[in-house]
Structure 1
Amino acid sequence: MIASLVIGIIFLVTGLALRYWINRRKFYRRNPTGAEGFSSYENSVFIKLIERIGKWAAYAMIIFGLLALWAYSREKKEKEKATIEQPIQRK
């Protein structure tokens, strides 16, 4: 039960950090006119491809993290419900 909470938090934070890092790199590549500056065409294509793959990986990590947190909340509710529904044993 705790594992899904830890995994959910790790994946969510990692996905958000990856998106932030990619967008920050893209922002600082821009010149004052707003165009991205690359040293060559090949460099431009390669970096944009890697960033696109990275963004999709970040989205997948965020979704997986949210699903893990949702699973944790469902497990917690079921556990609380099971403890409430148990009959009180008398001696």
Structure 2
Amino acid sequence: MVASLVIGIIFLVAGLGLRYWINRRKFYRRSPMGAEGFSSYESSVFIKLIEKVGKWIAYALIIFGLLSLWVYSREKNDKEKQEVKTEQPASHR
């Protein structure tokens, strides 16, 4: 149960951090006029491809992290419901 919480937080933070890092690199690559500066055409194509793949990986990490947190909350609610059921005395009429 706690493992899904830890995994969810780690993946969520990793995905958000990866998106931040990619967007920050893209921002600082821009000139004052707003155009991105690359040393060559090949580096432009390669870097843009890697950034697109990185963004998709970041989206997957965020989704997996959110799903893990959702699983944790469901498990916690189920456990609380089971504890409440066992605490109530059985009444017979």
TM over 0.5: yes
Aligned length: 89
Can you list the C-alpha shifts for 1:31-70, whole angstroms capped at 9, x where unaligned? 0100000000000000000000000000000000000000
Identity in percent? 75
> Could you list the runs of 4 or more consecutive aligned residues of structure 1 that deviate by over 6 angstroms after TM superposition?
none
The one-letter amino acid paired with 2:20 is: Y
Residue aligning to 2:63: 63
Following the alignment from structure 1 to structure 2, what is the Cα–Cα distance between the partners of residues 88 and 8?
A: 36
RMSD: 1.1
TM-score normalised by structure 2 residue count: 0.93
Q: Does 1:13 align with 2:22?
A: no
TM-score normalised by structure 1 residue count: 0.95
